[in-house]
Amino acid sequence: MEKVKKALVGIGRFLGLILLIDLGLFIAVTISCQIGTRCSNIAWSERMFWVGIAAIICGAPAVVAMLSTSRSFSINPMTAGMDNAIAIDIIQNERRGMNKRVGFALRMGLIGAGCIAISALIDILTR
């Protein structure tokens, strides 16, 4: 039960941070429309859409980095025995790096999707 509770708290924090960033981006775009050039509702919606696309593009390098994660640690037959002795550490280190890349890509993708959803809501609600 403790593992489930810990996992739910982690998911809640992850999604809460995403919603907070989406809210911040919404406020920034709204302020840019009010202070800078006066935006129509369509321009406001388009700006939110492009902020979402920019967030998704920022997460793209992490996706590319995940494509080449299979690194061999026993290339040299002379050191294979020594390398196998520390294989667990190498695998755990690679796994931590992979988890960070997956988390970043997922976070940026969800932030972008949230901004695009806000853009759609602006478009629907202001007609």
List, for residues 36-59, the tens digit of each pLDDT value: 777 888 999 999 999 999 999 999
Enter the DSSP assignment of 1. Answer: -
For 39, phi then psi, to 5°, come to -95, 145
Distance separating alpha carbons of residues 89 and 67, to the nearest angstrom: 21
The CA–CA distances, whole Å, from 120 to 42, 56, 96, 124 equal: 10, 16, 36, 6
Res. 126: pLDDT tops 60:
yes
- The residue among 28, 18, 35, 34 whose CA lies nearest residue 50 is 28
- Residue 26: its pLDDT value, please? 95
What's the pTM value of the predicted model, to 2 decimals?
Answer: 0.81
